[in-house]
Chain A
Amino acid sequence: MKGDLRVLGIESTAHTFSAAVVSEKRGLLCDVRDIYAPPEGSGIHPTEASIHHAAVAAKVVKEAVTTAGIRWKEIDAVAYAMGPGLGPCLRVGAVTARTLSLSLGRPLVAVNHAVGHIELGCLLTGAVSPLVLLISGGHTMVVSYSSGMWRVLGETLDLTLGQLLDQLGRYVGYASPCGRRIEEAASRSHRYLRLPYTVKGNDVSFSGILTAAKRLIDAGEPFDDVCFSVQETAFATAVEVTERALAFTGNQELMVVGGVAANKRLAEMLGVMVDRHSAKFYVVPLRYSGDCGAQIAWTGLLAFRSGDSIPVEKSVIRQSWRLDTVPLPWRAGA
């Protein structure tokens, strides 16, 4: 299509290697993923995951371009997730993106993975400038846009919600990510076991819940009851701080994004809360709640359109890259 802009995006911050193509005029054209699966009882081993990514990279990228129905030379820019994430995994995505950028002769765009979750969420749900609850294995944060950046109004002081669920699951032998299996176990129980409910100011903390839950498991409490209690307690603290932030900012939109956004009980609790404030509630569609190339491609397109790109020799990776330090030129004036 003439006058269109197409960006190929590569995601490789953790267990997912994914490539997607977005078009300025036609939106998301494809999103191809290959996910590293750790053995039962294990988490993501960064090196193992990166070996997986390196093995599937070429196949995933080719499939993305084929599925998008475009020719290589129709790609206008290549975006990659610069961080935050696991070093070895990030490197595979960066190398893939640099290679494509050099061989196609197209500019390279660096994208922050967390910003990607939010921008893709806005694209898919229609939210404009929402209060955002970002919950995944890497993040548990409540953020709101103000003066050029996403500002943090509350966050976890230790584990993320994703880590809490994964570590609980791994304790009984599941492989990461354990969210879905924990949710299933929790749905089979209605017996509440008291766990530490920790809200500090507008921040939450989950390490106490994890320790107490492991002790309950050791004491022989049924796993379903423990999962139910962990979800009820941990989610209630997250919803409480989100509600505070909603009341504080007076924002009329709440959007939840990130892998844990797939949890139905959490979405239900947030929905009940949002109703009390007569705000609009947006949940990122299930397929795009987890890590994907689409979040990088779309954010890359927004950034590229605002004139952003990075020379290959400066295209490093950033394992630690806080969301509230990322400039968002495309949101300026919003």
Chain B
Amino acid sequence: MKLLYRGAEADIFMGEWAGAEAVFKFRKPLPYRLPELDEEIRGQRTVHEAEIIRDARSAGVRVPYLYYVSPRESLIVMQHIDGPRLKTFLQSADRRRAQVSTEFGRAVGTLHRAGVMHGDLTTSNVIVGESGVHLIDFGLATHSLKVEDHAVDLRLIKETLVGAHSEISSSVMSSFFKGYAEVVGEKRAKEVSKKLLEIERRGRYARVE
């Protein structure tokens, strides 16, 4: 097996499962965390992630197919999706930027409409695949229909865009909102973006106009 990506909480390996190319996501023990706390968190997050991926798929979001799940080993084996991460894609000045951003908005809208909060929507967790925008890494996802939780998702997207792609962040955000509103409806989209501003205002020392 080949190491694809050494993430903060999991290592991603590329291997084979029943003759198909597969991604092995292994939540490794984090040596800085107390072992008893660490094991509990890794097991919980593995089961939870598998359940959420299943729910996202039934809602119509493009996510990897699951092949094998083992909480004891903190392992999930799933379909490999070919394509650049949104982070890389946005750095490449591709002319499909607006279109992809809108599609990303639709994917997140579909997820939210199905009552799932992703919890870790950075541009590293979105793959621009041939068949469309895929969402990956549901390790911090939860079931929620709350405006607040959905706004927290969007806040992270905004935070990541401003943090890592500051020059294009506002144009990407507006294309994103277009797609998001198409799915969840204008009214809900407005509620969520209003809540997003409210959350930003709650930030320490914040002055959001």
Q: Give residues 1-39 of B contacting A (CB, 8 Å).
A: 6-9, 30-34, 36-37
**A247 and B7 contact, CB distance less than 8 A:** yes
Asked if B8 contacts A322 (CB within 8 A), the reply is no
CA distance A152 to B30 in the complex (A): 24
Q: Does B162 contact A (CB under 8 A)?
A: yes
Query: What is the CA–CA distance of A240 and B160 in the complex, to the nearest angstrom?
Result: 17
Residue contact A320 to B140, C-beta cutoff 8 Å: no
Choose, from A55-63, A198-206, A208-216, A286-294, the stretch at the interface: A198-206
Total chain B interface residues with beta-carbon distance under 8 A? 35
Q: Given A197-B41, A233-B37, are A272 and B31 also a contact pair (CB < 8 Å)? A: yes
What residues of A have a CB within 8 angstroms of the CB of B156 in the complex?
201-203
Q: Does A121 contact B (CB under 8 A)?
A: no
Across the interface, which residues of A come within 8 angstroms of B74, CB to CB? Answer: none
Q: Are B34 and A236 in contact (CB under 8 A)?
A: yes
Number of A-B pairs whose CB atoms are under 8 Å? Answer: 104
Q: Give residues 222-268 of A contacting B (CB, 8 Å).
A: 232-233, 236, 239-240, 243-244, 246-249, 268
Whether B6 lies near A247 (C-beta < 8 A) is: yes
Is residue B166 within 8 Å, beta carbon to beta carbon, of the partner chain?
yes
A160 on interface, CB distance cutoff 8 Å: yes
Query: Which B residues lie within 8 Å of A319 (CB)?
Result: 205
Contact A192 B205 (CB under 8 A): no
Q: Which one of A25-33, A39-47, A139-147 contacts B?
A: A139-147
Residues of B within 8 A of A269 (CB): 32-33
When the two chains form their complex, are residues A156 and B167 in contact, meaning their CB atoms are under 8 A apart? no
- Among the stretches B97-105, B117-125, B181-189, the one at the interface with A is B117-125
Q: Are B159 and A197 in contact (CB under 8 A)?
A: no
Q: Is the CB of A240 within 8 A of B37?
A: no
Residue of B with least CB distance to A200: B152
Q: Are B119 and A201 in contact (CB under 8 A)?
A: yes
Tell me the chain A residues, 143-163 only, with Cβ under 8 Å from chain B: 144, 146-147, 151-157, 160
CA distance A321 to B37 in the complex (A): 36
Q: Which residues of chain A are within 8 angstroms of B124 by Cβ–Cβ distance?
A: 248
Contact A197 B37, beta carbon cutoff 8 Å: yes
Distance between Cα atoms of A232 and B203 in the complex (Å): 25
Tell me whether A322 and B163 are in contact (CB under 8 A): no
Contacting pair A232 B8 (CB below 8 A): no
User: B49 on the interface (CB 8 Å rule)?
Assistant: no
- Interface 0/1 of A176-213, CB less than 8 Å to B: 00000000000000001010010111110000000000
The complex places the Cα of A83 from the Cα of B207 at a distance, in Å, of 13
Name the one of A160, A201, A236 contacting B33, with C-beta atoms under 8 angstroms.
Answer: A236
Expressed in whole angstroms, the Cα–Cα distance for A319 and B30 within the complex equals: 38
- Tell me the bound Cα distance from A203 to B84 in angstroms: 26
Q: Is A66 an interface residue (CB 8 A)?
A: no
Residues of chain A touching chain B, judged by Cβ–Cβ distance below 8 Å, are: 83-84, 138-139, 144, 146-147, 151-157, 160, 192, 194, 197, 199-203, 232-233, 236, 239-240, 243-244, 246-249, 268-270, 272-273, 276-277, 319-323, 325
Q: Which 7 residue pairs of A and B lie closest in terms of their CB atoms, listed nearest first?
A: A269-B32, A201-B156, A151-B163, A244-B8, A243-B8, A320-B205, A247-B8
Chain B contact residues, CB within 8 Å of chain A: 6-9, 30-34, 36-37, 41, 119-122, 124, 140, 152-153, 155-156, 159-160, 162-164, 166-167, 202-207
15 contacts between A and B (CB under 8 A): A151-B163, A197-B37, A197-B41, A200-B140, A200-B152, A201-B119, A201-B159, A202-B120, A240-B30, A243-B8, A244-B8, A246-B8, A247-B7, A248-B160, A249-B164
Starting from the known contacts A151-B166, A154-B159, 16 additional A-B residue pairs (CB-CB under 8 Å) come to: A144-B163, A146-B163, A151-B164, A156-B204, A192-B37, A194-B37, A197-B37, A201-B120, A203-B152, A236-B37, A240-B30, A243-B9, A248-B160, A248-B164, A320-B205, A320-B206
